[in-house]
Chains A and B, each alone.
Chain A
Amino acid sequence: MTNAMAEDLADYMSDNELVVEPKLPKLDESFGCTVVISNLPKVPQPKHDKLKSVVLKICNKVGTVDVRDEVAPLMPSGEDGKSFGFLFITFKSSADATKCEEAVNGYQFDKNHKINVVKYDEVKKLKTVADTYEEESASPYEPSPDTSWWLRDPSQRDAFCIRYGNETEVHWADGSREPVLDHDGGDKKASGVQWCNYYMEWSSRGSIMATILPAKGVITWGGPNYKKLKRFSHVDVETVQFSPEEGYMMTTSFKNDIKDAIKIWNTKTGKLLRAFPLFPSESFKEKDAEKPPPFLWSHNDEYIARMGEDLISIYELPSMKLLEKKSLLANGIAEFQWSPAQNILAYWAPEKGNAPAHIQLVEIPSRKHLRQKNLFQVSKVNMSWHDQGKFLGCKVLRHTKTKKTVYNNFELFRVHEDGIPVEILEIKDAVFNFRWEPQGTRFAMVHAENRSATRASVSFYDMNKEVTHTERRGPKGSKKQVTVTQTVSELNLVSTLKDRQCNSLYWSPAGNIIVMASLGDTSSGSLEFFDVNTCTTMAVREHYRATEVSWDPSGRILSTSVLQPLTGGYFKFQMDNGYMLWSFQGKQLKTVAFQNFFQFAWRPRKNLLGEEKRSEIKANLKKYYEEFDRRDKEKARALYLEETRGKRELRSKFRDRVEVLRAGYDANREQRKQMNDGYDSEDEDMYVIQTANVETVLKTDEFLVES
């Protein structure tokens, strides 16, 4: 028996009186289930019960009211029997009380009384409030970070953000030198702030960076050190989208069953403007459960719209009220798109009953139908606006009457011309990809005989045609002839490239240059850099297994990446993660590999120069060229010096260290010699070079020599 046990037993065996401490449940002193309902009518004694029963009826709708005697609704009244206008009600659970506070508060009881509901625990707090009001000292004004600082970069660089492993980094790149790290969130990590654990998103003009933390919501960052700007709380958020002018943003959670799955916010103030469920109506949910119809912004932040059943709901910003209190009727609508430059909506609807399939252009807010185009035997329409809203291209997949064979044709709307003429282009092949040239009038498409073809053709068309003809000028009879070049609106084929490994097209934002890529599982990741003006291939490159291609906003650098998704099914994409940067001519600038690479996003930048300024620059390119070339050289030199300075430092530091180690080693030389039996391996004299001559007789010939 151990001592401790003995002591325990001794205590037990002793004759001391037993001290019994009964274990009573603790008295619950909280009033979590009780609410105070105020701003009720003040009624005389006889009407007390009537009022009580009315209030109880309301409260019973949101929860179960505890009606035991000790907690029965209590309505204090004055000496004259007239109630004070408030009432205590206790629910069976505190959750019900909370529900009551949320639901009943603000209820219009009658014409003059809008009732207030406050939890009793809240009311109790009022007791502790000091009688005199002490003015809070105003917090000093902190200017919000300058979100346009990066546009004033003296080296005119572009920025991109990468997400790999647990890191989120922003780098500078200008296409001629190594990308330079701008920010890696080091300050945030140091202070223990997690600044991104999901995808990030740049705002439409690049001023703000938004990071998604699905457990919490979205945080926006800006200014030179990416300071926290605002927090947008939204549990289970998966995507964030900015309006074109950045004034508003939309966060979406794809959890089907919550009623505020989509939230619209004011970007600057962080105020929630309105929340929507994922689907506009229940019937929609059943019809196409996979993809909810998206909210789309108009080009100038004036409206946001979503398709419903046979209608488009257009909301005005920032009030988020339905435009003119009614939705735009759109019978049978399947999809709509805003013009990127005007408040014009384009939508299409498939055949329905007697009504033919049609594409409709509607002006907002006048709701004027600008153009309607009826079509027959339509399977599907893909609409694509030109960047400046000049054209609308609709790829129409049509079938024959038997629905056995399908073919494509294009309906091309000239939106900026009177009456909006439509041109039709018929293509027998299957068309994979259709892209307008930014800043131009051309478009490109990938087509092949059938969907499974490994080799495809790429065709370029121009919406305008240059026509030259000769004209007689001058007085009548004169033979002077002048060649006149005119641009006429006429669709024409520029060229077709045959037998290409290509399934995706990427126009440079500056136009003219296009990269034809073959991406995806079965493809090689080949990249063809093509100059459309001269119809020449500048380079054919490859980024094996590339999943994504994107241009920087200026068209100087192309990035190709192998990414793996952040959630689910990633094992297929685990190999070869990383990104490559290329010049627009196809020169490889940089290759970076990561174990887990998730996102590559160029910082969008609005073109700050107007059309006129740009054409002026184009005209005087030589002058600018010299100037920039000189500056580039200066910068390269400065950078070289800067880099080598750092490297020199590293090198001399390292060499010093090696020197010290070497000295320590030399100090032990004698000891080492002893250990090796007196043999000093460092002593060059210990080496004996022996030269051995070996003679080998290869062949012996005997012959007579006549003397």
Chain B
Amino acid sequence: MRPILLKGHERSLTYVSYNYDGDLLFTASKDNLPTVWNAETGERIGTYNGHQGAVWDMDCNKSSSRLLTASADATCKLWNTETGDELKSFPHRGPVRGVAWAEGSDEFATISDPFMENDALISIYSVPEKSPVESYNLTPRLEIELPKENIIKATNVVFLGLNSSLFVTFDDGSIRLYDVKTGSVLNTIHPHQKKINRVSFNKEKTLFITGSADFTAKLFDAVRLEHLKTYKTDRPVNDAVISPTKEHILLGGGQEAMSVTTTSGRAGKFETKFFHLVYEEEFGIVKGHFGPINAIAINPDGRSYASGAEDGYVRLHFFDKSYLDMEDPVPEGELVEPTN
């Protein structure tokens, strides 16, 4: 497996994702330029120019027409994916950590960090694609204040249940479900001891996996919020994804950037780890990065994946035939008793 090295960003990567069809790869980094790449060839198609701070998160809608970016410059921007035109900029009162489209792409939600005297917020904006951009209201349709005690920060936001609830993860290891209409908390679980770095869902949004600083990734039933599996590693997990075609999990992580210098390069463990979804067993690693992996995305067709790391590179990997042909370690079909 020879990866394509995507050298476009000048600073460490924060997020990588494929669009719904899997032909575009979006990457965000601490430099101010979110970038879109051809997911097949690794060719850089263009950048979205306008942000003045690190870009923490982005989300492309299902039809790939519009792109949202969340930035530390306290704005969330709406872009025309194809032309790269900035359609609208939504000012916030603190760095914007995460952004997510609602089903149907008429609304989106952002999470912002507390800043100065302003509290952390979840905001929902209405941006129907059919209405003219000029008519979009810059004040959110709904604002939910996050609990002020202990100053916990939100790390991810996702719409769930046909836009009925908002799923938000926090840096104290908890997950909350909010009602989209009223902003009240529907459910709270506390699956991790430390920060949940990233959460990612399968295509159907029926399963999700959390990557946490407590060295584990955990798989959940997204409908009932039930914990199903735990994948243990020896490093903080920065991102984890579920393979769409195989019963596999991909994990990326590494020591926190601040403590990397205390680790020897070869023991840095900056690899992508492959786990079996069901048996929770690690069965492979892909090396290459020389900094902790911050973000992983797997193509919806399951044939390639991209990883972005603290070292500023995105590595686009296409799986070998041997991986694609790999069968489950336990034979399918009925158990054959020994005949002796």
Contacts and interface: CB of A to CB of B under 8 A. Distances in A.
B234 interface: yes
B303 to A, nearest CB: 17
A658 B330 contact: no
B277 A654 contact: yes
Contacts of B234: 578, 593-595
Nearest to A652: B278
A406 to B, nearest CB: 36
A210 to B, nearest CB: 29
B267 A544 contact: yes
Interface stretch (A143-151, A249-257, A669-677): A669-677
Interface residues of B, number: 35
Overall SS of chain B's interface: loop
B310 to A, nearest CB: 18
Contacts of B264: 544
Interface string B105-148: 10000000000000000000000000000000000000000000
A647 B279 contact: yes
A641 interface: yes
Given A650-B279, A661-B207, A641 B335 contact: yes
Contacts of B233: 593
B39 to A, nearest CB: 16
Contact of B335 (A645, A654, A662, A679): A645
B62 interface: yes
Contacts of B329: 647
Q: Which of A594, A638, A650 has the most CB of B within 10 A?
A: A650
A575 interface: yes
Given A672-B103, A676-B103, A651 B228 contact: no
Contacts of A671: 162
A593 B234 CA distance: 6
A637 B277 contact: no
A665 B228 contact: no
Contact of A676 (B104, B223, B266, B328): B104
Contact of B330 (A644, A657, A675, A681): A644
B20 interface: yes
10 contacts: A545-B267, A578-B234, A637-B338, A644-B331, A645-B335, A647-B329, A661-B204, A671-B162, A672-B162, A675-B103
A641 B330 CA distance: 10
B337 interface: yes
A16 interface: no
Nearest to A673: B104
Contacts of A676: 62, 103-105
Contacts of A668: 162
A648 interface: yes
Contacts of A645: 335
A664 B278 contact: no
B215 interface: yes
Given A595-B215, A644-B331, A675-B163, A544 B266 contact: yes
Interface in B266-305: 266-267, 277-279
Nearest to B264: A544
A260 interface: no
B228 A575 contact: no
Contacts of B247: 651, 654
Contacts of A638: 338
A356 to B, nearest CB: 51
Contacts of B207: 658, 661
Contact of A664 (B163, B223, B338): B223
Contacts of A578: 234
B204 A648 contact: no
B182 interface: no
B206 interface: yes
A641 B267 contact: no
Contact of B63 (A576, A641, A651, A679): A679
Contacts of B262: 575
B150 interface: no
Given A578-B234, A654-B247, A677-B104, 9 more contacts: A575-B263, A593-B233, A594-B234, A651-B247, A661-B206, A664-B206, A672-B162, A675-B163, A681-B20
Contacts of A658: 206-207
In the A-B complex, the 8 residue pairs with the smallest Cβ-Cβ separation, listed nearest first, are A593-B234, A661-B206, A675-B104, A665-B204, A647-B330, A644-B330, A654-B278, A675-B103
A688 to B, nearest CB: 12
Contacts of B103: 672, 675-676
Nearest to A545: B267
Contacts of B221: 657, 661
Nearest to B102: A675
Nearest to B215: A595
Contacts of B204: 661-662, 665
A153 B215 CA distance: 35
Contact of A647 (B206, B263, B278): B278
A675 B206 contact: no
- The winner among B63, B206, B221, B328 for most chain A CB atoms within 10 A is B206
Contacts of A651: 247, 278-279, 328, 330
A635 B263 CA distance: 41
Interface in A623-638: 637-638
A44 to B, nearest CB: 79
A654 B328 CA distance: 14
B130 to A, nearest CB: 8
A467 B221 CA distance: 75
Interface string A291-318: 0000000000000000000000000000
B285 to A, nearest CB: 12
B97 to A, nearest CB: 26
A593 B216 CA distance: 13
A668 B278 CA distance: 26
A645 B233 CA distance: 25
A677 B103 CA distance: 10
Contact of A644 (B62, B63, B335): B335
B328 A575 contact: no
A534 B75 CA distance: 72
B228 A576 contact: no
A648 B330 contact: yes
A662 B233 CA distance: 29
Residue of B205, B263, B266, B330 with highest tally of chain A CB at under 10 A: B330
A648 B334 CA distance: 9
A672 B206 CA distance: 14
Contacts of A595: 215, 234
A644 to B, nearest CB: 5
Contacts of A637: 338
Contacts of B20: 681
Interface in A333-385: none
Nearest to A592: B234
A661 B204 CA distance: 9
A644 B328 CA distance: 11
A665 B162 contact: no
Given A593-B234, A647-B330, A650-B278, A662 B206 contact: yes
Interface in A648-698: 648, 650-651, 654, 657-658, 661-662, 664-665, 668, 671-672, 675-677, 679, 681
A641 B223 contact: no
Interface in B323-340: 328-331, 335, 337-338
Contacts of A593: 233-234
Nearest to B103: A675
Interface in B45-95: 62-63
A648 B335 contact: yes
B89 to A, nearest CB: 25
Contacts of B163: 675
Nearest to B205: A665
B78 to A, nearest CB: 18
Contacts of B335: 641, 644-645, 648
Contacts of B222: 661
A657 B62 contact: no
A264 B8 CA distance: 70
A153 to B, nearest CB: 22
A576 B262 CA distance: 11
